[in-house]
A = this chain, B = another copy of it.
Amino acid sequence: MKHGQLATKELAEFVRESAAIEETYSKSMSKLAKIASNGSPQGTFAPMWDVFRVSSDKLALCHLELMRKMNDLIRDFNKYGDEQVKIHRKTKEEMVGTVEAVQAVQVQNGHLQKSKEGYHAKCFELDRLRKEGAPQKELEKAELKSKKAAESFAVCIEKYNRVGGEFEQKMSESSQKFQEIEETHLRQMKQLIKGYSHSIEDTHVQVGQVHEEFKQNVENIGIDNLIQKFAEQKGTGQDKPGTARLTRRSLVFLFPVGGK
């Protein structure tokens, strides 16, 4: 469960970093739009700068919106993180019985080991006395001890099995509960990732549209058109595209060589 909380925090951190990257990119695009708007207003190319400026400005907006969506998502992450803490606290309380069962089986396991060792020691002692041909009285005493140790060992086994049964029961319930918690957690995480993924996808589509628009705008501004605009700007009329009708005055303007 601790790992679950950590994963939520780490993924939120990942999204936070993504949002920061998008913010930086958006700012860079605004800067690029500024460069375009500072493009020289003179010469035949001048009207093209507007196409670059508009496109860069739109891209800046797309990435700013993505940043905003990611920030909204981080709020969802934080909300889920808080819920997660509550759920985990509640689960911990519900698990008290299981904790006790674990402790009981651990204690009982200790007893069982000791009892087994005691029994084995008694058996070994009895065996040794028999091999040495000890007096009957001593053998009887050792036999009694061994018998008692066997009984005590049997009681321990029985108790261990009982405690172990409870442990298995509690553990099965708890692990079921843990599994449910993990499933819910992963479902929630995948839902949040889906939100992240959708936001990125939406922006990707928008960015594609801006690129398409840019391409169209560049194509739409014909070379004839640019030359005509330039001629008009210089005070020169134009009768038909492709051939400039230049007056003496405007020609001098186009071709300034000293003097007045």
Give residues in A with beta carbon < 8 Å to B: 2-4, 6-7, 10-11, 13-14, 17-18, 21, 24-25, 28-29, 31-32, 35-36, 39-40, 42-46, 48, 52, 95, 98-99, 102-103, 105-106, 164, 167-168, 171-172, 174-175, 178-179, 182-183, 185-187, 189-190, 193-194, 197, 200-201, 204, 207-208, 211, 214-215, 218, 223, 226-227, 230, 243-244, 246, 248, 251-252, 254-255, 257-260
A10 to chain B, nearest CB (A): 5
Does the CB pair B193–A218 fall under 8 Å?
yes
A187 to chain B, nearest CB (A): 6
Does the CB pair B200–A52 fall under 8 Å?
no
Q: A14-B32, A52-B14, A183-B223 are in contact. Are A45 and B3 (CB under 8 A)?
A: yes
Does the CB pair B255–A186 fall under 8 Å?
no
Contact partners of A223 in chain B: CB under 8 A: 183, 186-187, 190
**In whole angstroms, how far apart are the Cα atoms of A243 and B182 in the complex?**
12
Does the CB pair B171–A255 fall under 8 Å?
yes
A40 to chain B, nearest CB (A): 5
**In whole angstroms, how far apart are the Cα atoms of A187 and B10 in the complex?**
51
**In whole angstroms, how far apart are the Cα atoms of A42 and B6 in the complex?**
9
Does the CB pair B246–A175 fall under 8 Å?
yes
Contact partners of A227 in chain B: CB under 8 A: 179, 182-183, 186
Q: A208-B204, A211-B201, A223-B186 are in contact. Are A179 and B7 (CB under 8 A)?
A: no
A2 to chain B, nearest CB (A): 8
Does the CB pair B3–A254 fall under 8 Å?
no
Does the CB pair A230–B182 fall under 8 Å?
yes
Does the CB pair B179–A197 fall under 8 Å?
no
